[in-house]
Amino acid sequence: MKGLVPHLGEQAAIWRISSQVACIPGFELHQCVILAAYTLFQAKEYVAGCGGNSQVVVLRNKGVSGFVDSEIVNAAADAVQFTDRELGELALNSGWHSVSRINFQNWGEEIIRWIGEMREHQRLDLRKHRARAEKMAGFMAGKSVKLDQLGLLIPPKRKAKLSPPKERKASQSLGEIRRRTAEPSTQQ
C-alpha cells in the first residue's frame, strides 16, 4: 500500500492508518470487511485504471467462506466515506479557535447525529435487502435458508448421526432379563 499513498491526495492519511491497522492481531472480521470496502473505494477514486464492482472475499478457518454481499460492501464504503468526510471537517475546524467551545461541541454533536441517521437508514435498507436475499436463496435452494451478517449462507445444523444400540453385556442371564421385565407388572 505504501506505493499508493503519494497518489491519494487528501486521503493519504486513511491509507497509512489502514496499512498499519490491518496488521493488528485480534481485528474483528467485520472491521476487516469495512476496511477492505473503504480501501477499494479509495483506490477507485484516486488510482487511475481502478474501477468496476467492488468484491470482498472472506476466507474463514471455520465456517463459510465466500464473497461478501455487494450491498454490504457498498454500504460499508459509503458509511466510512461519509464519516471520514464529516469528521475530517470537524478535525480541521478544531484548530479554528475563534469558535467557542460550546459552538464547537454543538457542531460535533450535530455531525454525530447525521452519522447516526445515515447508519440507521443503511441498517434498515440492509435488513430489507437481507430478507429479499434470503427469500431468493431459499427459492433457488428449494428450502428456507439464513444468511449471516456478511450475506453468506449459514449452513444448516447437521442432525446427529444415530448410533447403533448399545450391546448388552453377555453376563446378563436370561433370568435377570425376565426379572427386570416382570418387575413393572408386579408393581401394578
CA angle 107, 110, 114 (to 5 degrees): 140
Q: How far apart are CA 33 and CA 68, in angstroms?
A: 8
50-96 per-position pLDDT tens digit? 888 888 999 888 888 999 999 999 999 899 889 988 998 888 888 88
Whether pLDDT at 174 is above 70: no
Q: Which residue has the higher pLDDT, 3 or 170?
A: 170
